Structure 1
Amino acid sequence: MPEADVTGDRRYLVFTLGSDDYALDAEIVRELLRPPALTRVPGAPAALAGLANLRGAALPVLDLRRIVRPDLEPATEPSRVVVAEAGEPVGLMVDRIVAFSGGTESVEMDGTSKSWRLATTVGSGRARVLDLRAMVAEAFPRRRAGTSAQAAGRPASQGVAGEAEAEHVALVSFTAAGRSYALPLERVSEVLALPPDVVPLPRAGNAALGVVALRGSVLPLLSLPALLGLAAPPPNADARIVVVRLGGTETGLVVDVLGPILRLAPDAIDPVPSSLRQGGTTVVDAICRVDAAGTLVSVLSADRLLEGTIVTALPERSHDAKILDAQAGGSTEQVVVFDVAGESYGVAVGAVREVLRVPEIMTRLPRSPDLVVGAINVRGTVLAVVDQRRRFGLPPGEAGPRRRIVVLEADGSVAGLLVDGVSRILRLEANAIRPAPDFSGDAGNGVDRVATLDDDSLLPIVDASALLAGTERSVHAAGKRPGGRDAAPDAAA
């Protein structure tokens, strides 16, 4: 980093945007970074480039060109990010760092407004001094004070989630060897994609696929079709690992594909008929009726799944992992991860009523705005489906087999969100979740917290109540604008 010979009472960081020099008081500069990986925030002003992981904290990174020089095109590759204090740490994308320098500050009048200029011997010799606090306040006028729940790091929908859990039985469903099964949500720690680097174990039995690393421990993987005595082809790209707590340890069950998350009334779940239990026990605990069409899903018993197999003597997890398991009830939170336009977002499991495949036909609603893609019948209830891409101000996506409808319920509101995919269920440590820096400019996007994942990436977590309320406002506002859909109902894929 070049140092200037000019001395003075104060020092400044001088940098460039385009062809012009700018300066910040060095006392508010915390560090200089190479451009980090950024996580986009939906609905954010253009000045917010995204969030970066700075030692476990979510750092808002601002594109200074869009704030100071909106006439300039955004830099394709900014050379540095300046971390500075503006009431809270912010990252500032700059084109080039010139030097830390002393200099002489002077005031210039431009009509009725004042600007501060720095005379120095570095760069062009003349730099505009930025008042970072005032600049950020002007660029993000809608910033709101965090709620007490956010400040404490508590789930925003905790009360609603608790009520939903009490009224319904929550199940994670999946397909194994072409058949539908489910496990109680409370026995499922998380659902993960199957990594390519599975380490096989010799002479471990037909059901044992090997082991993978998971948060500093080793997770054994078992083929669920093999455990059930079913023939199945090798796992493909759609395969998932359902991490289940079996006998005090965690075991990964490899399934063909993740199915819907089901929340069913107790009277929709029936015990296994006694005639099927003759001759011994069965690994199926119950049969649930999913819809009016009579679709049935078998609910497996996590306690009896390994009985009679040679894999019951799998090595136990480490002492530290056991401590984490014992503390899991009060120190973790489960989220469903969904994808929109290449970005992943999380939402509390308790707010997800279910996850559905996109039907081939959805009924168009008359005079509905473009972000409402149609309506579907969910067990006798008509549910409006909102395109989450359009809700986040993004172009619509293309139809594909991964697309899903996430049915959210919070504060008495229910809506189906059309997303590009639902990839997994995660159990997050409470100390990995922090309130999101409030630079989004759109409270209705629902992003109120950010989680730091094991690979140091960031996962924005949406508050279902805020997301549904913001979606409802967007639908009403769009419906009042000229040019909204006003056609008769028709069918659309």
Structure 2
Amino acid sequence: MTSDDDLAVEDDNADYVTFDMADERYAFPMSRVQEIIRMPAVVKVPLGPPALEGLANLRGRVLPVVSLRECCSMPQAGHDETTRVIVVDGGVPLGFVVDRVASVISIDPSAMEPADDVQSTVRSDVLVGVIKVDGGGMTSVLDVDRLVGSQFDGLAEAAASREVTGATRPSVGTSADQDDEAENDDTLELVSFAVQGQEYALPIDQVQEIVQAPESVSHVPNAGSRVLGVIDLRGRLLPVVSMRRVFGLPVTPLEPQNRIVVVSLDGGVVGVVMDTVREVLRVPHQLVAPLPGFMAGDGRKSEVESVCRLEDGKRLVSVLSVNRMFDSPEVRSEIAEHQDREEGPGMAEEQADDGRGDEELFVVFRLDDEEYAVDVDAVQEIIRVPEALIRVPRSFDFVEGLVNLRGTVLPVVDLRTRLGLPRSERDERQRIVVLIIGGVRTGFIVDSVAEVGRIGRHVLEPAPRLSAEQARVVSRVANLPEQKRMLLLVQVDQLLAADEAAELECAVHEAADVLEPV
């Protein structure tokens, strides 16, 4: 039932935006409508309410877009050329998807009747009143605040909190991370990649970031034979070198699976094109042996400084040194000449600072055609999904099983299932991202790992509070309109509840003596 105070508010707002849904006409007070737009591209958010269609970029702002049909318990319908999104002020901007926008009307206050006097197909608790139209028609006026509150409890509170406290960065570390520091000191962290079918690796501290190769590289006249050209990396020109050319192998056209590994070299940065980037490895030092002295001669062999013996020696990974890779005076001369010509004075000094500054480093991965990211400091390693996993009886439905990762039992979670997304068939692109949660090293299966990239803190903002669980798990959003991308930043320590982490730990201890190493 609508009170006299409610109607008094509407009496002061005689202008309404009318729209259609399911062949019925409805309206919002014009004072609550910010703008009307066409249906935008949206990024789907897991763990949100059923009405949420996704997040859209509205001129640099993150806009939650919701189905008004779903909010009003109506049958869903597809979008077409007449579909519109009415952006309202619901504490923070919120877009409601409607079938069609009709017009803007002005009414006499006496034309409004209370909602309880009229039968309607929508729920009465989101109805303010009904406008009587000449000819016997009616237009139902919906309550913006009740619509928002019915689906997005706490959305306005989150906006108020952001204004007071600012966009603070949630903690990604855990006490378990600190407990593992001693163990990490005895391991070598590597990024492995493939060139001409052979597996190589670079120490992770020599890698600034990893980005997907563009469709093409801008060639530079009179550039050396090893320098492919230059690309734009967030406003800076990055010289790009072909690893194949450094190795003296035939160069192939750039393909979607190619990655550019950005490394530091002599006060600047260089991008190195790899065929594919495979994994992030954390290898015990006892499995790493220096290259035998008689093999360390001139040419290509000198680029390898050690070899990792994995999978009981069945898999050998050659560890390269950036300095040895570009030890040739010709290569260094080509890169230096290119940097001087393209970057201008002072740029090398700016690039020499490889600290993160006002940027954060993330591992970006994909789930169900959307991009997610986790802080690189939270990632232990990234490995391929083994052919078989040992099932855990009477466990959570999102637990895929256990594997023995170099002597450590690793529980593996299907991240799609954990986030309420449909499962997918296994394929070669899937990877396991290994994190530490609640003191337990846990692997999460993702559709693919896209890149390791830097994101400016100025584009990071708190994710809209669309549901309590979503707000805990997807804590922030990186809005990148220039790239037509939006990354959902996952809060690692919220992926598993305390009881879930404890149950996984018990399963790990029970299986410790059963699994064979993989």
Q: TM-score range by the shorter chain?
A: 0.7 to 0.9
- Partner Cα distance (2:34, 2:316) in 1: 59
Q: Deviations over 1:10-51 (max 9, x none)?
A: 222222222222222222221221111100001222201000
How does 1:371-450 map onto structure 2 within 5 Å? 371-440=398-467, 442-443=469-470, 446-450=473-477
Secondary structure of the structure 1 residue equivalent to 2:427 = coil
TM-score normalized by structure 1?
Answer: 0.83
- Partner Cα distance (1:404, 1:13) in 2: 49
1:461 aligns with 2:489: yes
Q: Which residue of 2 aligns with 1:134?
A: 146
**Which of these residues, 73, 92, 107, is aligned with residue 114 of structure 2?**
107
Q: Deviations over 1:157-212 (max 9, x none)?
A: 05669746783553322112333222333443332222222233454333222223
- Partner Cα distance (1:363, 1:40) in 2: 32
Secondary structure of the structure 1 residue equivalent to 2:483 = coil
Q: Which residue of 2 aligns with 1:74?
A: 77
- Partner Cα distance (1:370, 1:195) in 2: 39
Unaligned runs of 5+ in 1: 1-6, 480-488
Moved more, 287-296 or 432-441: 287-296
Deviation (angstroms), 1:128? 2.0
Q: How many residues align?
A: 473
Moved more, 466-475 or 381-390: 466-475
- Partner Cα distance (2:51, 2:287) in 1: 50
Q: Which residue of 1 aligns with 2:335?
A: 312
How does 1:37-186 map onto structure 2 within 5 Å? 37-68=41-72, 70-77=73-80, 79-103=83-107, 104=109, 105-109=112-116, 115-119=127-131, 126-141=138-153, 151-158=166-173, 163=178, 167-168=184-185, 169-186=188-205
Deviation (angstroms), 1:141? 3.9
Distance 1:463 1:241, change over 3 A: same
Secondary structure of the structure 1 residue equivalent to 2:271 = strand
- Partner Cα distance (1:426, 1:460) in 2: 14
1:352 aligns with 2:379: yes
Moved more, 19-28 or 224-233: 224-233
**Which of these residues, 220, 236, 239, is aligned with residue 239 of structure 2?**
220
Moved more, 271-280 or 80-89: 271-280
Q: Which structure has more helix as a fraction of its residues?
A: 2
Q: Deviations over 1:337-369 (max 9, x none)?
A: 111122221111111111111112222223344
Amino acid of the structure 1 residue aligned with 2:369: G
Secondary structure of the structure 1 residue equivalent to 2:493 = helix
- Partner Cα distance (1:424, 1:25) in 2: 45
Secondary structure of the structure 1 residue equivalent to 2:500 = helix
Q: Deviations over 1:411-431 (max 9, x none)?
A: 423221112111211111111
How does 1:11-26 map onto structure 2 within 5 Å? 11-26=15-30
- Partner Cα distance (2:201, 2:165) in 1: 33
Q: Which residue of 2 aligns with 1:299?
A: 319
Distance 1:145 1:410, change over 3 A: farther
Amino acid of the structure 2 residue aligned with 1:469: A
Contact 1:162 1:350 in 2 (8 A): no
Structure having greater relative contact order (Cα 8 Å, sep ≥ 6): 1
Secondary structure of the structure 2 residue equivalent to 1:42 = coil
How does 1:217-296 map onto structure 2 within 5 Å? 217-230=236-249, 235-264=254-283, 282-290=302-310, 292-293=312-313, 295-296=315-316
Contact 2:158 2:464 in 1 (8 A): no
Contact 1:171 1:183 in 2 (8 A): yes
**Which of these residues, 21, 27, 31, is aligned with residue 27 of structure 1?**
31
The percentage of counterpart residues that share the same residue type is 36
Distance 1:404 1:472, change over 3 A: same
Contact 1:157 1:465 in 2 (8 A): yes
Secondary structure of the structure 2 residue equivalent to 1:329 = coil
Secondary structure of the structure 1 residue equivalent to 2:215 = coil
- Partner Cα distance (1:162, 1:273) in 2: 35
Amino acid of the structure 1 residue aligned with 2:39: P
Unaligned runs of 5+ in 2: 1-9, 508-513
Secondary structure of the structure 2 residue equivalent to 1:354 = strand
TM-score normalized by structure 2?
Answer: 0.79
Amino acid of the structure 1 residue aligned with 2:500: E
Secondary structure of the structure 1 residue equivalent to 2:325 = coil
Moved more, 343-352 or 208-217: 208-217
Secondary structure of the structure 2 residue equivalent to 1:312 = helix
- Partner Cα distance (1:205, 1:122) in 2: 78
